[in-house]
Amino acid sequence: MSKLLYITANPKNDMKLSKGMQIGEVFLEEFKAAQPEVEIERWHLYDMDIPEIDMDLLYARAKLSFMGYTKEQLSEAERTKLDKMHALADRFIAADYYVFVTPIWNLGAPSILKKFIDNLFIVEKTFTNTDAGPKGLLTGRKALHIQTRGGIYSTGPMVEFEMGDRYLRKVFEFLGFDSLETVVAEGMDHFPKLVPEIMAKAKEQAAEAAREMAKVSVTL
């Protein structure tokens, strides 16, 4: 059975509180209608125990990659954390469709998203190094990013300051994904009277993105 991973990086634990999650639900409803047999798994990053690259993980990686250690020679803490990192990456890789829902925070994404993505950069698992440079191994996949913004970054002086969607785009390009589409709902704090209009447009775009994603049958 194919699986869609629906990943939210927002501490808001009630969909009604988050405009991004409301847009995300429209995506899910539309996707489910078009692809009812695809399993949907929700990962609310703030509810997950996500390994952090701390001293143990730093050393585990270094010991295995260039210090000549075997996995058995790692300390128990190093091995446990490394196993957790690999298990999370394996669960991520096992999906077929991906949706990320994030707000822009201080020009980027909430830091928990970076912590999560640090678990996906595993050499010979998600990318490899070739003579021509690094090459992503997660090919044939499509992702959607739904991003909410208080201000405007699609035009005007802030264009170059947006680093949340750009970060995700580059991460998944690096890891080999075919594409990362984005639905943006922007200007919602700066233009509160326009919120209904901005939300309606973003929901329509999310529904359209769902129909498009559902057309792609993923056979990995």
Query: Given the rule CB under 6 A, which residues bind ligand FMN?
Result: 10, 12, 18-21, 103-107, 148-151, 188-189
Strands (E), the chain: 3-8, 39-44, 97-103, 127-130, 133-136, 142-148, 179-185
Cα gap 55→186, rounded to integer Å: 38
Q: How far is the CB of 110 from ligand FMN (least distance, A)?
A: 8
Q: How far is the CB of 198 from ligand FMN (least distance, A)?
A: 9
Sequence letter at residue 162: E
Closest to ligand FMN by CB, 59 vs 167, is 167
Phi, psi of 96 (to 5 degrees): -115, -35
Closest to ligand FMN by CB, 126 vs 148, is 148
As beta bridge partners, residue 184 has 147
Cα gap 145→125, rounded to integer Å: 23
Cβ(6)–Cβ(99) under 8 Å? yes
Question: Helix, strand, coil: what percent of the chain each, to 5?
Answer: 45, 20, 35
Q: How far is the CB of 39 from ligand FMN (least distance, A)?
A: 25
Please report which helix (H) or strand (E) contains residue 129, including its range: strand 127-130
Closest CA to 119 of 146, 93, 99: 93
Closest to ligand FMN by CB, 136 vs 151, is 151
Closest to ligand FMN by CB, 14 vs 37, is 14
Structure tokens at 30: 């539309």
Closest to ligand FMN by CB, 18 vs 205, is 18
Q: Tokens 């075919």 map to which residue?
A: 178
Q: How far is the CB of 85 from ligand FMN (least distance, A)?
A: 27
Q: How far is the CB of 7 from ligand FMN (least distance, A)?
A: 14
Phi, psi of 3 (to 5 degrees): -135, 140
Q: How far is the CB of 107 from ligand FMN (least distance, A)?
A: 5
Closest to ligand FMN by CB, 185 vs 207, is 185
